[in-house]
Amino acid sequence: MKVSKELIRDLKKAEDAVIRIGNGGTDLSLTYREKKNGRGWIKPEREVVYKDENVFVSSFDHDFEPSRATWVLLYSNQCDNLQLLATMLRPDDELYFFARADNNNDYVRNAGLHNDELCAQVRRKEKLIVHRYVIDTQICANNSARNIK
């Protein structure tokens, strides 16, 4: 997706981020929240959605062919990896989110678990600036809670 000043601002300030990869593209949904009446009730204030037509979900396990991934980053304005990514970006960069399934070691594999990663790639003026920046990982059993399906 093409990076704009607004996208950089939203990545830095939004409190929740949802990244959906698959089904024809990549969606980045960023939510701003506000507290109401000082009682801690949190109500969605507004949501901003950025879309991209690129889809990339891969797996280290050649028997598993994932087709979609969903990552929910609550309090994304406190997620160091996402904040560093926002700091690296400049307007007119190209930002690609991608997911990689089963980046396992023997301990994870022997326990019957899967280590899935949400990554980003940044291109600036046709030059690859960041090849694979890991934003988040999840170790999970192969069930409905898994980020990559």
What residues have CB less than 8 Å from 100, skipping those under 6 apart? 57, 58, 59, 60, 116, 117, 119
pTM for this predicted structure: 0.82
Whole-angstrom distance, CA of residue 10 vs CA of residue 1: 14
Which range has highest mean pLDDT (18-27, 30-39, 132-141)? 132-141
What residues have CB less than 8 Å from 84, skipping those under 6 apart? none
Which tokens go with 105?
Answer: 């070691």
Domains of the chain by residue range: 5-140
Average pLDDT, the chain: 84
- The pLDDT-based confidence of 134 (bands split at 50, 70, 90) is very high
Architecture of domain 5-140: Roll (3.10)
Instruction: Please check the confidence at residue 142 and state whether its pLDDT lies above 80.
Output: yes
Spatial CA neighbour of 56 closest among 118, 134, 145: 118
pLDDT of residue 36: 61
- The pLDDT-based confidence of 63 (bands split at 50, 70, 90) is low
Whole-angstrom distance, CA of residue 148 vs CA of residue 28: 16
Whole-angstrom distance, CA of residue 119 vs CA of residue 40: 33
